[in-house]
Amino acid sequence: MELEIAVLSRTGGRSVNEDACGFWPSSGVCYCVVSDGAGGHGGGDVASKLVVKEALGWFRERPESSASAIEAAMRSANEALVREQGADRKLADMRATVVVLALDFERELASWGHLGDSRLYCFRSHHIVAQTRDHSVVQSMVEAGYLEPHELRTSPDRSKLLNALGDREGFDPALEGDAVPLNGDEKFLLCTDGFWEYVEERELEQTVSEASSAEEWLRSLESRVVARGKASQDNYSALAVWCKP
């Protein structure tokens, strides 16, 4: 099985990019991480980069692809954030979302986990077959019936998170319980809320069916994000992974 990976990360209408993303391929495995930081005095910028660095570093030392390995890598990133908070008072309030994808080509399996409202979408035959659930106030309100699903992207409370990295207690990531078999037709999208806010799921399916490469797909989606964004548009980042036989 072959991989094609494309990455983009932009400041949008902000002065600093508080998003970070990265991937690390090795023999038979590949790990992808996207993070969105928050916090005053440059804390968001520090947080997201630290999360990506720490999570990928964990996998380099232990190239495992199970749900428990993903949880351990995320826990390591959380502990690194907490240590950095204590080392610099200006960073005491920094937090970060995270979404992790682990691909095992020898066993032909995919696993993932996340915390916050950065998302993972899994496509098969150009259709979304799996999508992470946001740890946010509005997601809970939609599920409780207080908001309509289409309001999730426009609610003034959209950015209020129920959980994120950077807390000493309450670390509770969501993990894909069973590894998903790969058949070479899968495509994955990991992205921050500044990206998915402007592109609905039906558009993701439409554009992935029209694109001839992961890079072309991301550029097509970015054009929609830019066209619909405001002057004060949030940072936006995305990482696309295409599996090929």
State the pLDDT confidence band at 40, using cuts at 50, 70 and 90: low
Q: Please write the tens of the pLDDT for every residue from 97-141.
A: 999 999 999 999 999 999 999 999 999 999 999 999 999 999 999
Look at residue 83 and tell me whether its pLDDT is greater than 90: yes
Look at residue 41 in the predicted model and tell me its pLDDT.
65
Q: Looking at residue 27, what is its pLDDT?
A: 85
For residues 63 and 40, is the Cβ–Cβ distance under 8 A? no
For residue 158, what pLDDT band results from cuts at 50, 70 and 90? confident
What is the arithmetic mean of pLDDT over 35-58? 92
pLDDT at 169: 84
Q: Which pLDDT belongs to residue 150?
A: 85
pLDDT per residue over 188-237, tens digit each?
999 999 999 999 999 999 999 999 999 999 999 999 999 999 888 999 99
Looking at the domain covering 2-229, what would its CATH class be? alpha beta
Mean pLDDT of 137-164: 91
- In the structure, what pLDDT confidence band is assigned to residue 49 with cuts at 50, 70 and 90? very high
Nearest by Cα to 23 from 34, 10, 14, 32: 32
Q: Categorize the per-residue pLDDT at 36 as very low, low, confident or very high, splitting at 50, 70 and 90.
A: very high
User: How buried is residue 86: exposed, middle or buried, by Cβ count under 10 Å (0-12/13-18/19+)?
Assistant: exposed
Q: Does residue 42 carry a pLDDT above 80?
A: no
Residue that has been written with the tokens 């907490």 in this structure: 82
